[in-house]
Amino acid sequence: METTTKTAPPDLLAPWLRHKASLFRQTPCTSNRASQLGADCERELVYWRTRWSEALEPSLELRIIFQEGEKHEREVLQELQRAGVQVLEQQCSLEWRDLEITGHVDATVVSEGESIPVDVKSMSAHIWDAVFRDGTRVYAWSEVSEAFGRKPWLRKYLGQVTLYALLRGSERAILLCLNKGTGALAQVNVELDYEYAESLLRRAERINAHVRAGTLPERIPFDEEVCPRCPFYALCLPEHVGREPIAFLEDAEVERLLEERALHEEGARVFTKADDRLKAWARARPEERLTVGRWLLEKRKLSRGVRVDVQALEERAPAAASA
């Protein structure tokens, strides 16, 4: 019987990747972007204004992650509208001309006559879980500020929404944070902190002065989380680049484990301290077995010392009803 050889199905990925790559374009940076003004390093922000064309382009993998995030963020706003929330002014441009600050607020919502800027942020599941310990609910900024300080990109969000609130003449802003893994949403209410807002405006002034004078601010002390990921790393610290000892890897599972480890680090320290004190106390007692409250402590002699095991006592079974 004659056999016919089939050609392989078309490669759908190559054109998709080409399309994804084509969506990225480094555009001239002629203003201080509200989304960046809260960044860790002022020198980087001056580089963005003066040497933007020399910024290291993000990898295609990272660009795809950004694009995916933007897609999800648009969907969140559509869902809010379908849910009956009055979402106004999507992707509205903001500008403070004198200070050369610009921004694009995702949306605004109106509450009691006040127009409140809303910014949607998508996050990987492990970051979201680490920040929003109670899951989906409304959080005050003070409840999550410490967690938002753990990553360089998370640290920028407060500055961004602070400037949006200031530019919109609002006393509040909302961060809506989407868990990309589960679709869960958390809301963070940010009250405008005028002192912090003022510090951002002064920062914009300093950057503008550097741009005009052709000068640069001092470098921040070398930070392994910030500098090697900075798009101007090679420009700013060329001597570091050649001898970079750190390999930057992308591994979601390992990253999840590291986040989990960080999450429980304090708890583990508290456990070890209590465990050490407890066992030292039990070793000093003459009894072999003793109970305290609902706990049973048992000592066993080993060749290298005394081991103490701690166990929760079983709840007593209720007495059987008499016949």
Binding site for ligand SF4 (CB under 6 A): 41, 43-44, 47, 219-220, 226-227, 230, 232-233, 236-237
CA separation for the pair 148, 177 (Å, rounded): 12
44 Cβ partners below 8 Å, 6+ apart? 230, 231, 232, 236
Q: Beta strands 295-302 and 305-312: pairing type? A: antiparallel
Residue closer to ligand SF4, measured from CB, 9 or 214: 214
The minimum distance between CB 160 and ligand SF4, in angstroms, equals 18
The minimum distance between CB 235 and ligand SF4, in angstroms, equals 8
Residue closer to ligand SF4, measured from CB, 10 or 221: 221
For the beta carbon of residue 60, count every other beta carbon within 10 angstroms: 12
126 Cβ partners below 8 Å, 6+ apart? 252, 255, 256, 259, 260
The minimum distance between CB 237 and ligand SF4, in angstroms, equals 5
Residue closer to ligand SF4, measured from CB, 43 or 210: 43
Q: Which helix (H) or strand (E) holds 296?
A: strand 295-302
The minimum distance between CB 37 and ligand SF4, in angstroms, equals 14
Q: What phi and psi values does residue 322 have, to the nearest 5 degrees?
A: -70, 145
Residue closer to ligand SF4, measured from CB, 192 or 235: 235
The minimum distance between CB 239 and ligand SF4, in angstroms, equals 11
CA separation for the pair 96, 82 (Å, rounded): 33
Q: Which helix (H) or strand (E) holds 103?
A: strand 101-105
Residue closer to ligand SF4, measured from CB, 175 or 236: 236
> How close are the terminal C-alpha atoms of the chain, in Å?
83
The minimum distance between CB 55 and ligand SF4, in angstroms, equals 10
Residue closer to ligand SF4, measured from CB, 126 or 203: 203
Residue closer to ligand SF4, measured from CB, 11 or 218: 218
CA separation for the pair 171, 152 (Å, rounded): 25
Q: Within 108-151, where are the H helices?
A: 125-131, 141-148
The minimum distance between CB 99 and ligand SF4, in angstroms, equals 21
